[in-house]
Structure 1
Amino acid sequence: MPKAMNSQDSLVSVIVPIYNRSQYLKQAIESALSQTYKNIEIIVTDDCSPENPQAIVESFSDPRIRFRRNAKNLGVARNIASAVTEARGKYIASLNDDDIWNENFLEKLVPHLDANPNLVLAFSDHYIIDADSSIDEVATEECSKLWKRNHLEEGVYQPFCEIGLIHQAVPSAVAAVIRKDAIDWKNFPSQVGPFWDLYLTYLACRTGSGAYYCPERLSKYRMHPLAETMAIGSQNPQAKIRGAKASIFCFSQFMEDEQLQQFHGYFRAKWLHAHTTLGIGLLRAERALEARSLLLHAFSQQKFNLRTLVALVLSFTPKPLVRRLFLAI
C-alpha cells in the first residue's frame, strides 16, 4: 500500500445509534475501539430509549467515546443525522448497536478516501451473524448474491447509481465510510425511516463522486428477532406499515430526480410494490377502507399483479375470515 494510503491523520466519527437494544451495544462499541485505525471518535446516540444505555457507555472510560441522548424520540434517520451534526470527523461511519466491525474495517477503507478526493464513500461486503454472534455462512453467501456484491470487482465506481440504488449493493448502515461534508445532514428527511441507509446512498450518488469497493467481508450484520429488517419482513402490521411508508417516500424522491430518469421505470415498480405492501400492512391492522383505496390505486397503475389483486380482494373480505387466512402476500 502506498505511503499516502497508510496515513491515519483523518478523524473518523463512528456513529452508533441505539434504541432499546443494549444487550448488543457493548460488543458493537468494543469492535469500534479495537480498530487498528486509531484516529476515531465514537458517538453513541440514544433515541430516548426507555432503557437508558448510558451506564454501558460510561463503563468503557474511554475519552474517544461520547454519549448523547435525544430529549424525545426522533426516529432512526433523525437520530443519526443529529449525531452527525455534532461529529468532528472528516468521515462518518455508522455502526448499528447490534453489529460488529472487523478490527481492520477502517484501516481497509479510510485510506482510499484520503488518497482520492473524488470518492464520496468506500464500502465492503459483510458477514451475516445470528443472535449469538455466530457467522451464518449460507445466509452470508445469499446476502452477497442478493445485492450482487458476489460479482462486484474491487475498485472505483463512478457514477455508482446502478450498484447503489438498483442493486442496492452499498451497505451504508453496516459496511461503509462516507465523506461527511458531501451530505446535507441538517436536512436529512425523517420520512426515510428504516431506509435511511438507502437514502444516504442516494444522496452520495447525487454528488457525482465515486465509490470504492473492497470485496472483503469487513463487518458483521446481525439478524435477530429485534432487528428492524426482520420486523418489516414479518407479519407485524406496524413494522410493515412503517417500512412501506418509508419505501414509498424514498422511491418517490428517486422517481422525481432528473438525474435518475434512466431508472424511472424501476423506481416506479418499487414504488407501486411498496403501495401494495402498505395496503397489506393496513389490512393486518384491520384498517380495510384505507387499504382498499391504496390497493385500488396500485392495481390500476400497473400491469396485472397477483399480489396486489389478492390483497385487494381481502380488503372486501369480512374481518373474521381475513384473520383466519394465511397468505404469503
Structure 2
Amino acid sequence: MLKNPKVSVAICTYNGAKFIKSQLESVINQTYKNTEIIIIDDKSIDDTVEICRSYIDNRIFLSVNEQNLGYTKNFEKAIMQCSGKYICLCDQDDIWNLNKIEILVDEIGNNELIYHDSDFIDNDGAKITMPTMAERYHMYQGNNPLPFLLFNCISGHASMFKSDLIKYLLPFDKRFFHDWWLAYVAVNVGSIKFINKVLVNYRQHTDSITDNLSLKPTLKNKGKRVKIDLDWLEKIAKFDYNKQPMLISKAFSIFKTLLMGKGRWRAFIFIVSYYDELFYIANRKRKSLISKINFARKLSLSNKSLL
C-alpha cells in the first residue's frame, strides 16, 4: 500500500462568505499534510471568492464557474479536477476535526468508501443538543446494495472514497443527491466502512442543501411513512455494475406495480423477505417477525397505502 497517499479535498462554494473561512481553516490545518484542496465556486455574488482567493498556495486551487451549475454538477466538476488517491467531499459551512483525514486514511483499508459520524451545530457554531447522525440513522457498512434502495445514511461531508470510483460514479444525475449515488456505487463496486467517531461539526441552517433537523418549512403528509422514489429505483436498476442486477430490477418492478395498486401480494412477500436489508438504515432497533409482517401488510395490502 502506498505510504502517505495524496488526499484531494473537493470543496464546492456558493454565497458562503459567512462560513467559508472557518471551514477552510479546519481543512488547511489538518494533521494529515499530503493534501490538495480543490475549490470550485458556483458563481457566488458575495465575498466567497475573495475569501477563498486569499488562501491560495501551492496546494490550494480555486476555479470560478462562468455560470451557475447547481451543487450536484459543481461537485462533479470538483471531483474531475482531483488528482489524489482518495477524495473527500467538503461543504462550505461545516467545521472538520483537525485529525479527520488522518483517521480516515488509517481506517479505510480495502474498502472503496469510508464515512464517519457527525455532530450538529447552528448558525453561530454552537452545538445543537440533538442526537448525532449515527444516533438518528442505523449506519450501514458492508457490500449489500439493498439498504440504499429506499434510504441513505451516508452524507458527502462525512465520506472519503478511492479515486478509482470516479469511472463508475460520473456523470452525476441532477435529479438525485450525489452522496446517495456515491454510496450506492461504492457498495456495488466494493464495500463501505463506517467508523463511529464524530469528525465533523455539521452546520444546520435554513439555507442548507440538506435538512436533517427539519429546520426548513415542509408539507406534512399524514399517513406517509415510506417514500418510494421510482425514478431513483429505475436509475439504480440500470446501473451497469450492480452486484445483484436481477434483484434490483425485481425491486423496481415490484414497487412500480404496487404504486399502480397492483401486485400487492407479490410486494408483501418481497418486503417480508428482504425487510432487514430494505429498512436497515431506518430501523435502529431490531423488529420482531410479527412487526415486520404487520408493517409489510400495511405497506402492501392496505387499501390506504402508506407509500
- The verdict on how the C-alpha distance between 1:135 and 1:170 changes in structure 2, with shifts beyond 3 A counting, is same
Q: Aligned match of 1:199 in 181, 194, 217?
A: 181
Q: Distance in 2 between matches of 1:302 and 1:72?
A: 49
Paired letter, 1:135: K
- Equivalent position of 1:158 in the other structure: 142
- Equivalent position of 2:117 in the other structure: 125
Ranked by relative contact order (alpha carbons within 8 Å, sequence separation 6 or more), the top structure is 2
Paired letter, 1:110: V
Paired letter, 2:130: V
Question: 1:46 Cα deviation (Å)?
Answer: 0.8
Matched, 1:146 2:128: no
Question: 1:133 Cα deviation (Å)?
Answer: 1.2
Q: Given that residues 165 and 201 in structure 1 are in contact (C-alpha distance below 8 angstroms), is that contact kept between their aligned partners in structure 2?
A: no
Q: Aligned match of 1:175 in 158, 164, 169?
A: 158
Q: Distance in 2 between matches of 1:160 and 1:37?
A: 31
Percent identity at matched positions? 26
Question: 1:34 Cα deviation (Å)?
Answer: 1.6
| Superposition TM-score, scaled by structure 2 size | 0.71
Matched, 1:67 2:90: no
Tell me how large the CA RMSD over aligned residues is: 3.6
Number of equivalent positions? 257
Give SS of 2:210's match: helix
Q: Aligned match of 1:32 in 27, 30, 52?
A: 27
Q: Distance in 1 between matches of 2:184 and 2:147?
A: 11
Question: 1:249 Cα deviation (Å)?
Answer: 3.6
- Equivalent position of 1:56 in the other structure: 51
- The unaligned stretches of length 5 or more in structure 2 are 220-228, 260-299
- Equivalent position of 2:191 in the other structure: 210
| Superposition TM-score, scaled by structure 1 size | 0.67
Q: Aligned match of 2:207 in 196, 203, 226?
A: 226
- The verdict on how the C-alpha distance between 1:266 and 1:146 changes in structure 2, with shifts beyond 3 A counting, is farther
Q: Distance in 2 between matches of 1:92 and 1:248?
A: 30
- The verdict on how the C-alpha distance between 1:53 and 1:79 changes in structure 2, with shifts beyond 3 A counting, is same
CA displacement, residues 9-49 of structure 1 (integer Å, 9 cap, x when unaligned): 21111011111222111111111012111111111111122
- The verdict on how the C-alpha distance between 1:186 and 1:72 changes in structure 2, with shifts beyond 3 A counting, is farther
- The verdict on how the C-alpha distance between 1:231 and 1:213 changes in structure 2, with shifts beyond 3 A counting, is closer
Q: Distance in 2 between matches of 1:15 and 1:253?
A: 25
Question: 1:226 Cα deviation (Å)?
Answer: 0.6
Instruction: Please show how residues 108-123 of structure 1 align to structure 2 within 5 Å.
Output: 108-113=103-108, 116=109, 118-123=110-115
Paired letter, 1:179: K
Give SS of 1:103's match: coil
Question: 1:51 Cα deviation (Å)?
Answer: 2.6
Give SS of 2:183's match: helix
